[in-house]
């Protein structure tokens, strides 16, 4: 019984669907556009996440999910046969080369099987993996460093030390034949130099002869799912009879999960804000879609109310009526959603590229996610939007009373009044017509105004991104040069992590500087003497309560992150209290304590810092050879310093090493007298005297640091400005795309409302013409209506913007410190003429459609 | 036994001074197989009465019984279902579903109900109404008389308890109107169908077994059967 009646409802739904071509076109376009917005958003989100994951994996050197460490052939056989392991691969590292040439990225000489090779992001450009004993494969950059051409069959000499030869006492050198190579990956932490399995076996024997322990082989695995990996790995090991707890047990087996897969811990920090933003965005898109889809269906149901009344008379129940509307909506979805998903995916993929270009994530890791989740989520959200939008029109059709439907005309009443009092005043009629269906009019106003307000907001927002404010804060010097380590927040504790004197000289010789100076790290343990109470507090705060004084004498020493600065750098510090210039005195011992900024931008002095003018004693210790040549931890000196100032240090020239213990700045001239041997130049900063010199320095440094063998990096005003502008343009593009799509939806809505209004009044207009209204007057009336829509939504947008601009300004300024509050409604004023043009054109086009048929035909076309 | 009964039926539009008593206490009984014409001038309340009898609208007070069922006691959806099973409508404006062809229009009430369509019976009705050749045609491809005959076929197809016709010839010229009515009467006799027809045309009303006159919402003459 059910089946029979379903078929009939379906027939009714689809037949009347076919009869509604204009509505279908507009509704489907709206569905496509909202689906595009949803898909684009999800594609961008998922791709950023995938790219982030990819770049993390690349920085880690591989995307295998986990590894069993130090396994034997026997272990591999046992473990790899476990059904919970989907795929496995092995790697044996035999040697390294971390000499100066490979300083940026160490070279690792190892054997990798096919799977491990694949998982290590190695994509052979030419040739094959090493098979014969004398074959080798590596990346193009390693080849360049070793002085060989990327040509298969070339001889490559590889100097290295065995990995087990820890003191590097027996360096080796081997000449191989190049069997394959791949493009170097800047993100990869090491240069992989791959050798054959037979070579590894030969080296194993040689290592044994040299009295060295055997090499380590790791078993890399992929499980069926990344979910609950830890448990599965433990089970695999335990089931194979290994001990995973007791490190001394003979059957102890260690395993590790690739940190790249533990993504929650990486991205979890700002997730609440992100989720809120995504939610707000989803709602905005859903609302945009709702505005038009609801409007389209509402207008169409109202227009076909007699039809629905008739169905009711014949015996269609409200449930069946709702199903008719729902089926029609679903049919439109079936056409619109796939199109929207495809277009949205394309757009999303394109925009992701642009978004990522302005972030720190390198382009080489750029991944467009192909996750089905994107399509699933977008389709579900779109379906929900459509169902929600058509629910009310469906209820309206279902509730229709058969008798009422026979009498139904849109609105009614009001028009009569104006016609009676003002006669044939065309403009008055237009105004009165707007009031006939207030809900419809308001919806059109809102959907148009929404697009305009958004456009204005995007321009307001992007316009507030203040490049100079950003540069003033982030760029302290025109140029800052340092070792890669410094910019990676590792400081320069060891001399090899610092700038070499001759390199500084070389840079100085090749650039012009108005002001320049060096920031030094201190290559020994720097500590401050504190009393017991302060020490307890410090320990509780930073080390979780482990109470152990560092000094053997029983003194309480708090760790200090310290930087010594030349006069030029000290000049860029912001004083919170005191006089920082005292640090420049080479003959007096002064120290400045670094202040912190709370989330409101207020400076807060270090809690453990003594008062200005008080004394603080610093103890420097390091490892020194004693009389027997043994290295022991020794006190190198202790000096009393007067606290000169509390200061704020710009990040660009600061220690960039977190904020453990106290953070202090010394004057380099004064500290050099006491601890000169331990000062490591960490950064060289300078300002160019003019633009020409700045440009010259920029191109010099770009070439100097860009060389693959160079260990230096630099930051500059020009690079910073370019990056900031790129970010700004990205926001402009994203916002513009969003506005564009929402704008099209708004115009569609407008078009639909005007068109439906004219079609619904087809007969009425014909009657007006029959009683003497000229075609010109009809056009005038319709155009006036169109202009009211334009002016109305323009005014609403203007009013909303006047209210919201200050609120948005405040919110943006709160979120982004580099945001400058400003006022603009220019975009609205610029869009108004466009709106006016639409207001004139759309009614005219619609009327032209209508005026084809004769007046008599149009009057007859009732009932 | 009366198949249709109205008891003290009142319908008031508006309130207070503006109240319009469209029906002011109508009592009416229709026997099975009767062909009753309700005649009255424009505004006399005859259309309102028909709407009440057919359950299209609810009375302000009073009862309507169809097959002894108090139709006012039914919920909207139950009433809709009752209507499609028990009451057939023929309107002045034909009111065919424009997107369905003749055959689909005729079987629609049965399909909505989910009952099996008695194809032989439907074909027979279409044949009686001389529509056999037009089964595939859409309403807008038919003349007014043909459209009204389709509407009659649709009303008869479910074998309703009563058939209500509201000015069925109002949109037709007099010759076509006569033809359509003749066919309606032939069908009614053939299938022993009860018919209540509204008209303002006395000539057409003469075809009925009984004529009820209504004025200002009250029945002024019940037209006893013996008169005919």
Which residue of chain B has the CA closest to A13?
B99
**What's the rounded Cα separation, in Å, for the pair A126 and A133?**
19
Confidence of residue A91 (pLDDT cuts 50, 70, 90): very high
Q: Do B80 and A11 touch (CB under 8 A)?
A: no
> Are residues A177 and A252 part of one domain?
yes
Together in a domain, A658 and A582:
yes
Comparing C-alpha atoms, which of A453, A525, A513, A672 is closest to residue A584? A672
Specify whether A218 is located in the same domain as A97: yes
Window from A116-130, A360-374, B122-136 with minimum mean pLDDT: A360-374
A218: left (phi over 0), alpha (psi -120 to 50) or beta: beta
Q: How far apart are CA A120 and CA B69, in angstroms?
A: 81
Using a CB-CB cut-off of 8 Å, the residues of chain B touching A2 are 114
Answer with the residue of higher pLDDT: B151 or A402. Answer: B151
- Closest B-chain CA to A319: B77
Position A141 in a domain:
yes
Could B171 and A863 be called an inter-chain contact, meaning their C-beta atoms sit closer than 8 Å? yes
Beta-carbon separation of B77 and A12 below 8 A: no
Q: Is the pLDDT of residue A102 over 80?
A: no
B218 is in which domain, residue-wise? 2-227
Nearest CA in chain A to B158: A314
The token duo for A271 is: 């997730």
Asked whether the predicted pLDDT for residue A709 surpasses 60, the reply is yes
Q: Give the pLDDT confidence score for residue A1 in this predicted structure.
A: 42
Q: Are residues A434 and A483 in the same domain?
A: no
Domain boundary among A191, A223, A257: A257
| DSSP-derived secondary structure for A529-597 | EE-HHHHHHHHHHHHTT----SSTTS-EEEEEEEEEE-HHHHTTPEEEEE-GGGGG-TTS-EEEEEPEE
Pairs of residues, one from chain A and one from chain B, whose beta carbons lie less than 8 Å apart: 73
Q: What is the structure's pLDDT at A474? A: 74
Interior/surface letters A196-235, b for 16+ CB within 10 angstroms, e for the rest: beebbeebeeebeeeebeebebbbbbbbeeeeebeebbee
Domain annotation covers residue A514: yes
Residue A700: inside a domain:
no
Give a yes or no: residue A692 inside a domain: no
Instruction: For an interface test with A, give the residue of B22, B112, B159 to mutate (most A CBs within 10 A).
Output: B112
Residue pair A618/A526 in contact (Cβ under 8 Å)? The answer is yes
Q: β-strand B194-199 against B35-39: which pairing, if any?
A: parallel
Classify residue A393: in a domain, yes or no: yes
A 394-453 residues inside an 8 A Cβ radius of B: 401-403
Q: A820 pLDDT exceeds 70?
A: yes
User: Which residues form the domain of A309?
Assistant: 1-61+273-408
Please work out, in degrees rounded to the nearest 5, the angle formed at the alpha carbon of residue A797 by the alpha carbons of A435 and A788: 35
The lowest-confidence range among A87-101, A414-428, A574-588 is A414-428
The CATH code of the domain that includes B170 is: 3.40.50.300
The residue of A315, A319, A404, A863 whose CB has the most chain B CBs within 10 angstroms, and thus the best one to mutate to test that interface, is A315
To the nearest whole number, what is the mean pLDDT of chain A? 81
Query: Are residues A495 and A625 part of one domain?
Result: yes
Task: Please compute the mean of the pLDDT values over residues A457-485 and round it to a whole number.
Answer: 83
Query: Higher-confidence residue: A168 or A536?
Result: A536
Higher-scoring residue by pLDDT: A318, A6 = A318
CA distance B92 to chain A (A): 10
* pLDDT (0 to 100) of residue A407: 54
The pLDDT-based confidence of A416 (bands split at 50, 70, 90) is very low
Same domain, A54 and A79: no
Give the model's confidence band at A242: pLDDT under 50 very low, under 70 low, under 90 confident, else very high: confident
Higher per-residue confidence, A266 vs A511: A511
On whether both A555 and A671 belong to a single domain, the answer is: yes
Residue A552 sits in the same domain as residue A583: yes
User: How close B123 gets to chain A, by Cα (Å)?
Assistant: 19
- Which residues of chain A neighbour B144 with C-beta distances below 8 Å? none
Q: Do A315 and B80 touch (CB under 8 A)?
A: yes
CB contact under 8 A, A315 and B98: no
Residues 6 or more apart whose Cβ sits within 8 Å of residue A359: none
Q: B69-99 pLDDT, tens per residue?
A: 998 888 888 888 888 888 888 888 777 887 7
* A433 vs B172, higher pLDDT: B172
Lowest mean pLDDT among A225-234, A417-426, A445-454, A570-579: A417-426
- Note whether A232 and A363 are same-domain residues: no
How does DSSP assign A207-258, residue by residue?
A: HHHTT-PPPEEEEEEEES-STTHHHHHHHHHHHTT-BSS-TTSTTB-EEEE-
Look at residue A415 in the predicted model and tell me its pLDDT.
37
Given this model, what pLDDT does residue A181 score? 92
Q: Which residues of A touch B51 (CB under 8 A)?
A: 403
**Number of domain units in chain A:** 4
- Total of domains in chain B: 1
Q: How far is A317 from chain B (nearest CA, A)?
A: 6
pLDDT tens, position by position, B113-161: 878 888 998 998 898 888 889 989 988 889 888 998 999 998 888 888 8
The per-residue pLDDT for A523 is 84
Q: Are residues A9 and A75 in the same domain?
A: no
Q: Which of B57, B84, B98 sits opposite A314 (nearest CB)?
A: B84
- The position carrying tokens 């089964």 is B135
Instruction: Give contacts of A5 with chain B, Cβ < 8 Å.
Output: 111-114
Question: Cβ of A11 and B84 within 8 Å?
Answer: no
> What's the confidence (pLDDT) of residue A248?
81
Is the ipTM reported for this complex over the cut 0.85?
no
CB under 8 Å to A829, separation ≥6 — which residues?
none
Q: Give the pLDDT score at A863.
A: 38
**pLDDT reported for residue A557:** 83
For chain A, give the percent of residues with pLDDT over 70. 87
Same domain assignment for residues A155 and A34: no
Are A669 and A582 members of one domain? yes
Q: How far is B228 from chain A (nearest CA, A)?
A: 33
**Exposure of A80 by Cβ count < 10 A (0-12 exposed, 13-18 middle, 19+ buried)?**
middle
């Amino acid at each position: 019984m059910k089946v029979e009646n379903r078929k009939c409802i379906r027939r009714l739904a689809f037949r009347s669907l076919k009869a509604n071509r204009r509505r279908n076109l507009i509704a489907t376009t709206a569905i496509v556009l909202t689906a595009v917005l949803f898909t684009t958003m999800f594609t961008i989100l998922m791709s950023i996440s995938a790219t982030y994951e990819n770049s993390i994996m690349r920085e880690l050197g591989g995307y295998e999910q986990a590894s069993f460490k130090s396994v034997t052939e026997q272990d591999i056989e046992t473990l790899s046969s476990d059904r919970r392991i989907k795929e496995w691969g092995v790697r044996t590292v035999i040697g390294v080369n971390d000499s100066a040439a490979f300083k940026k990225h160490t070279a690792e000489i190892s054997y990798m099987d096919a799977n491990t090779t694949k998982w290590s992001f190695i994509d052979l450009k030419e040739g094959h993996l090493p098979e014969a004993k004398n074959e080798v494969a590596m990346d193009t950059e390693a080849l360049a460093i070793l002085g060989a051409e990327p040509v298969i069959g070339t001889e490559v000499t590889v100097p290295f030390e065995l990995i087990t030869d820890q003191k590097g006492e027996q360096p080796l050198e081997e000449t191989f034949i190049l069997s394959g190579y791949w493009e170097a990956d800047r993100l990869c932490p090491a240069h992989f130099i791959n050798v054959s399995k037979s070579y590894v076996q030969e080296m194993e024997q040689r290592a044994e002869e040299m009295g060295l322990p055997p090499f380590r082989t790791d078993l890399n695995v992929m499980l069926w799912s990344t979910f609950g990996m830890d448990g599965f790995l433990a089970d695999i090991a335990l089931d194979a009879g290994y001990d995973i707890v007791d490190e001394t047990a003979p059957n102890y087996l260690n395993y590790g999960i690739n940190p790249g897969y533990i993504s929650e811990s990486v991205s979890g920090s700002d997730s609440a804000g992100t989720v809120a933003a995504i939610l707000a965005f989803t709602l905005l898109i859903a609302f945009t879609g709702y505005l038009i889809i609801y409007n389209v269906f509402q207008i169409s149901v109202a227009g076909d109310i007699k039809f629905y009344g008739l169905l009711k008379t014949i015996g269609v129940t409200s449930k069946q009526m709702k199903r008719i509307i729902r089926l029609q909506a679903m049919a439109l979805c079936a056409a619109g959603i796939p199109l929207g998903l495809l277009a949205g995916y394309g757009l999303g993929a394109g925009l992701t590229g642009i978004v990522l270009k302005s972030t720190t994530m390198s382009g080489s890791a750029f991944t467009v996610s192909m996750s089905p989740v994107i399509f699933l989520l977008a389709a579900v959200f779109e379906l929900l939007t459509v169902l929600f939008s058509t629910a009310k029109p469906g209820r309206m059709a279902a509730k229709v009373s058969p008798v009422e439907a026979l009498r139904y005309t849109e609105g009614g009443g009001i028009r009569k009044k104006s016609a009676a009092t003002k006669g044939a005043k065309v403009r008055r009629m237009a105004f009165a017509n707007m009031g006939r269906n207030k809900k419809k009019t308001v919806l059109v106003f809102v959907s148009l105004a929404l697009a305009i307000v958004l456009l204005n907001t995007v321009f307001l927002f992007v316009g507030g991104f203040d490049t100079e404010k950003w540069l003033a804060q982030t760029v302290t010097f025109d140029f800052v040069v340092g070792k890669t380590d410094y910019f990676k927040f590792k400081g320069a504790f060891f001399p090899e992590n610092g700038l070499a004197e001759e390199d500084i000289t070389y840079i100085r010789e090749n650039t012009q500087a108005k002001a320049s100076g060096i920031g030094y790290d201190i290559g020994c343990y720097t500590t401050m003497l504190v009393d017991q109470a302060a020490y307890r507090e410090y320990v509780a705060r930073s080390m979780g309560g482990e109470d152990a004084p560092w000094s053997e004498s029983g003194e309480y020493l708090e760790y200090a992150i310290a930087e010594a600065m030349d006069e030029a750098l000290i000049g860029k510090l912001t004083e919170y209290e005191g006089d920082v210039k005292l640090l420049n005195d080479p003959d007096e011992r002064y120290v400045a304590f670094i202040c912190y900024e709370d989330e409101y931008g207020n400076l807060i002095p270090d809690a453990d810092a003594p008062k200005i003018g008080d004394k603080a004693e610093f103890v420097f210790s390091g490892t020194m050879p004693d009389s027997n040549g043994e290295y022991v931890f020794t006190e190198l000196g202790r000096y009393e310093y007067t606290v000169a100032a509390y200061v704020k240090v710009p990040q660009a020239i600061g220690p960039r090493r977190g904020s453990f213990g106290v953070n202090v700045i010394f004057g380099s001239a004064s500290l050099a007298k006491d601890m000169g041997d331990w000062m490591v130049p960490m950064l060289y900063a300078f300002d160019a005297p003019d633009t020409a010199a700045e440009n010259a320095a920029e191109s010099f440094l770009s070439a100097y640091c860009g060389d693959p063998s160079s260990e230096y990096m630099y930051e500059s005003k020009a690079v910073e400005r370019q990056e900031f502008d790129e970010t700004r343009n990205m926001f402009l593009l994203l916002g513009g795309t969003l506005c564009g799509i929402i704008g099209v939806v708004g115009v569609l809505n407008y078009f639909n409302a005007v068109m439906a209004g004219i079609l619904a009044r087809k007969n009425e207009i014909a009657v007006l013409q029959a009683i003497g209204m000229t075609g010109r007057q009809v056009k005038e009336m319709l155009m006036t209506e169109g202009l009211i829509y334009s002016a109305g939504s323009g005014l609403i947008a203007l009013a909303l913007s006047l209210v919201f601009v200050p609120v948005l300004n405040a919110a943006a300024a709160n979120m982004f410190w580099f945001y400058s509050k400003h006022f603009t409604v220019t975009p609205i004023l610029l869009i108004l003429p466009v709106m006016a043009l639409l207001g004139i054109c759309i009614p005219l086009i619609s009327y032209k459609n209508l005026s084809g048929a004769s007046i008599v035909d149009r009057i007859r076309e009732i009932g | 036994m009366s198949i249709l009964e109205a008891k003290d039926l009142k319908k008031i539009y508006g309130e207070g001074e503006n109240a319009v008593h469209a029906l002011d206490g109508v009592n009416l009984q229709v026997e099975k197989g009767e062909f009753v014409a309700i005649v009255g001038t424009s505004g006399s309340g005859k259309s309102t009465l028909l709407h009440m009898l057919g359950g299209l609208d609810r009375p302000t007070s009073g009862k309507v019984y169809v097959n002894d069922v108090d139709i006012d006691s039914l919920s909207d959806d139950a009433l809709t279902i009752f209507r499609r099973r028990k009451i057939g409508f023929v309107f002045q404006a034909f009111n065919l579903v424009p997107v369905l062809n003749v055959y689909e229009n005729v079987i629609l009430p049965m399909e909505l109900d989910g009952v099996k369509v008695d194809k032989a019976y439907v074909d027979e009705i279409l044949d009686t109404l001389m529509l056999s050749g037009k089964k595939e045609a859409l309403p807008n491809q038919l003349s007014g008389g043909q459209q009204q005959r389709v509407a009659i076929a649709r009303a008869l197809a479910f074998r309703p308890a009563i058939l209500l016709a509201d000015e069925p010839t109002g949109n037709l010229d007099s010759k076509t109107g006569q033809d359509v009515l003749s066919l309606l009467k032939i069908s009614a006799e053939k299938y022993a169908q009860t018919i209540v027809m509204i008209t303002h045309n006395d000539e057409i009303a003469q075809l009925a077994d009984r004529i009820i006159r209504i004025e200002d919402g009250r029945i002024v003459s019940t037209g006893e059967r013996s008169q005919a």
